Amino acid sequence: MDILMQLLMSGIALGMIYAVIAFGYQSTFATSGTLNFGQGEALMLGAMVGLSINGDVLGGPYTNYWLMIPLVLLFGALQGVVVEFIAVRPAIKSKSEFGWIMSTIALGIIFRNVAENIWGRDDMPFPSPLPTAPIHILDANVLPMELMVVVGALLMMLLVELFNRRSIYGKAVVATSSDRDAAGLMGINTGLVITFSYALSSMSAAFAGVLIAPITLTGASMGAVLGLKAFAVAIIGGLTSGLGVIVGGILLGIAETTTGFYLSTGYKDVPGLVLLLLVLAIKPSGLFGKTTIKKV
Amino acid sequence: MHFAIPKWAAPVLGVSLVTLALGAMAAEPIKVGLSGPFTGGSSPMGLSMRDGVRLATDEINKAGGVLGRKIQLIERDDEAKNERGVQVAQELINREKVVADVGFINTGVALAAQRFYEEAKIPVINNVATGSLITKQFLPPDYKDNYIFRTSANDGIQSHMIVEEAITKRHFKKVAILADSTNYGQLGREDLEKALAAKGIKPVAVEKFNIKDTDMTAQLLRAKEAGAQAILTYGIGPELAQIANGMAKLGWKVPMIGSWTLSMANFIDNAGANSNGARMPQTFIQEPNTPKRKAFIDAYLKAYHPANGRIPSPVSAAQGYDSMYLLAAAIKQAGSTNGPAIRAALENLKQPVDGVVTNYNKPYSHDNHEAITANIPVMGEVKDGHVVYAYEEDRKNPFHTK
């Protein structure tokens, strides 16, 4: 087994976990200029609902892993609509610059407390739909589930991209992203588009939840650290670029594993944060982000 | 207006009033604080401990209580946070006026909050926290009397046992230490390094990880490249599970030997088959090998119905249960609920207390507040989802006393 190869592979697998969560930050930012800071909790809720359907925590299992996914997607979409309706819409309506920050954070905390009361506070194993024995690729060991995270994340982003480019509804989303006021004048219901983008955002977070849960353990507090790291990835990659989150995620993942090995495991989170600071200092819109000029 | 009270009524009324008053006095309960983390990552230990204490309290109360009074638990969640622990201590002391406190899972919380009990001269029995410093915070000559007692095996004892197991019994020459970045992990790492140094051994790798870390590749590869033959751990359940799973992923399997937290249900469940073979010091293993242990296990399962008939943290439950019986015995011997009197009684318990972990015969003295000595814990091993005795001779002879 080649050490560097193993570190790269593990870094990529970890990075794709961050990327798939970071993707959720993008879709709402594009349409409304707001972010759901409860993204980590949306991920956690998706994983917990998935575990309730697929595992035995609430009297299940009711279906297998693959049939559970559409149900979780549906739940995620509904959860996103709730977040938008309660936390974001009032802030947008009152043209509040920062109201949505506090209200999405607050809603995230409420979701976590509710989850603690329903599912308890302990971390639980999520039954893996694929074999748990590692497979050998390019001189490194990789878990089948890690491959599935990579494939699943790419597939999801591809589908969303296709939807945006090919369907009339997708075009409405793109139009709202480029200029909300003009899109509104063209007869697009931008409010509905924003609601939709929140549904999509939480849906992708919920999907990410069931995708990564077999690797990361499932519990009410699983979203906190992951949500924060994914936010860093979204900033590094750029909040407007799909490619950006993938590159940003992989960069951060590899930075963590290689620093841990070559420097010290006590410092493994430092390079990622240094990278974040550098990006903010040199190219604040992110590595792949479009620079936006705010007209005042 | 004139009330005609029959002549016979006066004495009857008087007597019944006196009985009522006496009854009220007799029913006045003894308030005991019970503090620990009932939410958050340490809650499996906190809840098992709480249930153990509740069980003991119920039994004591059913048997008539202490000094003719019932024991009333005042339960408070310290959330494993130091500042919250301090608030809880002040509330229990000043508002609830507890006569003693049992609890503390987290070393950091105990060190922050105990000062208030010491100043108020209210005894504390630490029943789970293991930091070596806990019972040594208030020693003479700076403090005349120490009000802090313990019923758990401290980190000094545990790290010594871990090193003894790895180096002496299993003859490993190269070991790596993996410890989490909390107070618990880093103090434990120091103890491990000291115990290894005493054997003339320097760990080939000393690695750190954070709570909620999901990838342990870097730490494990460093240990592997350094040629480690075993991994010594100081952390809590979920991250320990990620270490075991990470080893399986790398296709590298060396024994895991670590502090007692390797017995936590959230390690065993989350690591599944990868947890097999992990060894750790245990004061109590869920096996009914003495009548007292059988009664305790049966009562616990009947009262709380844990999943799969397995106590989430058997060690915490047993130590919590015993701490209440020790406290009750001290109150009974002191004949009062006065703090200094209870402390003096704990330091000189005349009657042995038959506990789940051991038979406490003079467990404490004025200068020694550790009920568990190095000979009491045994090595446990994870086997198919349960913690069992690692050594046959321990299984045959599981009960040790100080």
Q: What is the pLDDT of residues B118-176, one digit of tens each?
A: 999 999 999 999 988 899 999 888 899 999 999 999 999 999 999 999 999 999 999 99
Residues 6+ positions from A159 with CB-CB distance below 8 Å: none
DSSP B66-134: BTTB-EEEEEEE-TT-HHHHHHHHHIIIIIS--SEEEE---HHHHHHHHHHHHHHT--EEESS---GGG
Residues 6+ positions from B147 with CB-CB distance below 8 Å: B117, B118, B121, B122, B123, B124, B138, B339, B343
Report helix angle A190-216 to A3-32, nearest 10.
160
Chain B residue nearest residue A57, CA to CA: B307
* Residue A277 phi, psi dihedral angles, 5° rounding: -65, -40
Tokens standing for B17? 């009033």
| A124 to chain B, closest Cα gap in Å | 6
Which residues 139-158 of A have a C-beta within 8 angstroms of B? 141-143
A125 touches chain B (CB under 8 A): yes
A225 touches chain B (CB under 8 A): yes
**CA atoms B95, B98, B99, B101: torsion sign:** negative
pLDDT of residue B24: 47
pLDDT of residue B247: 93
B250 touches chain A (CB under 8 A): yes
The rounded distance, in Å, linking the Cα atoms of A152 and B352 is 63
Tokens standing for A276? 């974040």
How many alpha carbons fall within 13 Å on the CB side of residue B98? 25
pLDDT tens for the 402 residues of chain B, in order = 455 555 555 555 555 555 545 444 556 899 999 999 987 777 889 999 999 999 999 999 999 999 999 999 999 999 888 999 999 999 999 999 999 999 999 988 999 999 999 999 999 999 999 988 899 999 888 899 999 999 999 999 999 999 999 999 999 999 999 999 888 899 899 999 999 999 999 999 999 998 888 888 889 999 999 999 999 999 988 899 999 999 998 889 999 999 999 998 889 988 988 999 999 999 999 999 889 999 999 999 999 998 888 898 999 999 999 999 999 999 999 999 999 999 999 999 999 999 999 999 999 999 999 999 999 999 999 999 889 999 988 888 878 887
CATH number, domain B29-153+288-371: 3.40.50.2300
Write down the H helix ranges in chain A: 3-32, 39-54, 65-83, 89-93, 99-119, 144-166, 168-178, 180-185, 190-216, 222-237, 242-262, 270-282
Strands of B205-209's sheet in order across: B205-209, B175-180, B230-234, B256-258, B279-282, B378-383, B386-389
CA distances from B255 to A152, A171, B175, B246 (A): 35, 57, 10, 13
Q: Please report where in the chains the tokens 């043209």 appear, as a residue.
A: A95
In this structure, which amino acid lies at residue B216?
Answer: M
Chain B residue nearest residue A113, CA to CA: B39
Tokens standing for A131? 């074999």
Torsion of CA A198, A202, A208, A213, to 10 degrees: 170
pLDDT of residue A169: 84
| A284 to chain B, closest Cα gap in Å | 28
B57 CA to centre of own chain: 16
Instruction: Find the length of chain A.
Output: 296
- Let me know the angle formed at the C-alpha of B372 by B276 and B281, rounded to the nearest 5 degrees: 10
Tokens standing for B391? 């050594």
Is B346:B326 a contact under the CB 8 Å cutoff?
Answer: yes
A134 touches chain B (CB under 8 A): yes
The rounded distance, in Å, linking the Cα atoms of A80 and A39 is 10
* Interchain CB distance below 8 Å, B250 and A141: yes
Q: Is A16 exposed, middle or buried (0-12, 13-18, 19+ CB in 10 A)?
A: buried
H or E stretch covering B237 = helix B237-250
> Is the backbone of residue B323 left (phi > 0), alpha (psi -120 to 50) or beta?
alpha
B384 three-state secondary structure: coil
CA distances from B358 to A230, B103, B152, B319, B394 (A): 49, 19, 11, 10, 14
Is B257:B365 a contact under the CB 8 Å cutoff?
Answer: no
Domain range annotation of chain A: 3-225
- Residue A142, beta-bridge partner list: A135
How many CB atoms neighbour CB B385 within 10 A?
14
Q: What is the pLDDT of residues A122-177, one digit of tens each?
A: 788 888 888 888 888 888 888 888 899 899 988 988 888 888 888 888 888 888 88
Which of B189, B215, B268 to probe by mutation at the A interface, max A CB count within 10 Å? Answer: B215
- Let me know the angle formed at the C-alpha of A190 by A186 and A192, rounded to the nearest 5 degrees: 130
- Let me know the angle formed at the C-alpha of B129 by B196 and B360, rounded to the nearest 5 degrees: 95
Output the average pLDDT for chain B.
Answer: 89
What mean pLDDT is predicted for residues A172-193? 85
How many CB atoms neighbour CB A42 within 10 A?
32
Task: Please list every residue in chain A whose beta carbon sits closer than 8 Å to the beta carbon of residue B221.
Answer: 3, 6-7, 261
* Interchain CB distance below 8 Å, B251 and A141: yes
ipTM computed for the complex: 0.82
How many CB atoms neighbour CB A32 within 10 A?
24
For domain B156-281+380-396, which CATH number applies: 3.90.79.10, 3.40.50.2300, 3.40.50.1100, 3.40.50.880?
3.40.50.2300
Report helix angle A222-237 to A270-282, nearest 10.
40
The rounded distance, in Å, linking the Cα atoms of B41 and A120 is 11
Task: Please list every residue in chain A whose beta carbon sits closer than 8 Å to the beta carbon of residue B222.
Answer: 260-261, 265
Tokens standing for B373? 């000595």
Is A119:A242 a contact under the CB 8 Å cutoff?
Answer: no
**Through-space distance between the first and last CA atoms of chain B, rounded to whole angstroms:** 74
Residue (of B338, B207, B195, B181) closest to A265 by Cα position: B207
